[in-house]
Amino acid sequence: MDWDTLMDEMSSGSIPALSRLITHVEDRSPGWREVMRRLYPRVRHVPTVGITGYPGSGKSTLTGQLARELAGRGKSVGIIAIDPSSHLTGGAFLGDRIRMNALSGLEGVYIRSMGSRGAVGGIHPAARDVIKILDAFGKDTILVETVGVGQDEIDVTRAAQVVVLVCAPGQGDAIQYLKAGVMEMADIYVANKIDLPEAEKMLNNLRGMLMPGESGRHPHPPIVETQAEKGIGIAELADAIAKRVATGPSREAWRRRSAEEDVASLMRERLAELAAWPGTGAADVDGALEDLLAGRTDPYALADDILARSLVRMLEKHRS
């Protein structure tokens, strides 16, 4: 992997180079950490918007329309679509591909599909790196769209500065979101498909749940009414996001929280590598096991010893 050439090409604005760089980082190809370290000083920490909601809420359409709106305002937009099917099918749904092609035609819009981690749940740790790559590439705003409710949603609220929760009528009460712990994490609520008969009920549910008295939050988080397919309410959503970026937690607070999460996420990934014992990492495992079986040590001391040695070896390898 010639990372230098790829970095140079990406710096001069090559979209294919960008895509290849993302693929290598997503695949955790050897050297990915070093490349991210070199790229990191160029990251400007632009606004990242997480867009979440149940399947069928019209989230994908809304994300597309929002990208169009932002592009119309002269912004370049990066979209990361977290696709729970990708790890199984090796790619996005056909419908998603069509949407992606349509959006890719827009000036300044780059869209990328990434698999979630399947049974384990949660977005791929590389999603945080891809956000940084798009940022360093010059994108002004990054949209991260996730499907399903659960670990994906928790992860995206950690990765995004502004979280948008998309609701639609007839998906059961919005109370489901509350139960899933997602409701309270959103900064902006979208009531989509506002032309449907049950829209009023949905709005009342939403308003009821977001009453300051209930949630203890001041001010009441905004509810934006949209009909994404017809483009209704999209400008208002873009405004609400801009307002939230301007008036929400300071950029410094967001950067601090985000930096903490970066480090925690990278640590978790390292720890998962270490946990693969007896894997390839520990060369002297056989000797250690003999010591244990012969009663010269015990598993409690040995586990700590192997952990310490493996970590030292891993970090030495990383630095060399």
Binding site for a second copy (CB under 8 A): 33, 36-37, 40-41, 252, 255-256, 259-260, 262-264, 266-268, 270-272, 274-275, 277-278, 288-289, 292-293, 295, 298-304, 306-308, 311-312, 315, 318
98 versus 289: smaller Cβ distance to a second copy = 289
Minimum distance, C-beta of residue 185 to a second copy, in the bound complex (Å): 19
Q: Whose Cβ is closer to a second copy: residue 43's or residue 242's?
A: 43
How many other CB atoms are found less than 10 A from the CB of residue 212?
A: 11
Provide the minimum distance between the beta carbon of 289 and a second copy in the complex, in angstroms, as a whole number. 6
Sign of CA dihedral 37, 38, 44, 47: negative
Residue 214 Cβ vs a second copy, minimum distance, rounded to whole Å: 26
Positive or negative, the CA dihedral 287, 289, 294, 298 is positive
Smallest distance, Å, CB 288 to a second copy?
8
b/e per residue 14-37 (b: at least 16 CB within 10 A): eeebbeebbebbbeeeeebeebbe
Cis peptide before 222 (omega within 30 of 0): no
| Residue (of 243, 206, 208) closest to 47 by Cα position | 243
**Angle, CA of 246, 147 and 190, to the nearest 5°:** 45
- Cβ closest to a second copy, residue 43 vs residue 223: 43
Q: Least Å distance between CB 308 and a second copy?
A: 6
Cβ closest to a second copy, residue 195 vs residue 260: 260
In contact, 261 and 69? CB cutoff 8 Å: no
Residue-wise burial string across 87-113, b where 16 or more C-beta atoms lie within 10 A, e elsewhere? eeeeebbeebeebbeebeebeebbbbb
Read off φ and ψ for residue 192, nearest 5 degrees: -95, 170
CB of residue 304 vs a second copy: minimum separation in angstroms?
5
Nearer to a second copy, 44 or 220 (CB): 44
Residue type at position 22 = I
Closer CB to a second copy, 11 or 151, in the complex: 151
Shortest Cβ distance from residue 24 to a second copy (Å)?
Answer: 15
Nearer to a second copy, 98 or 272 (CB): 272
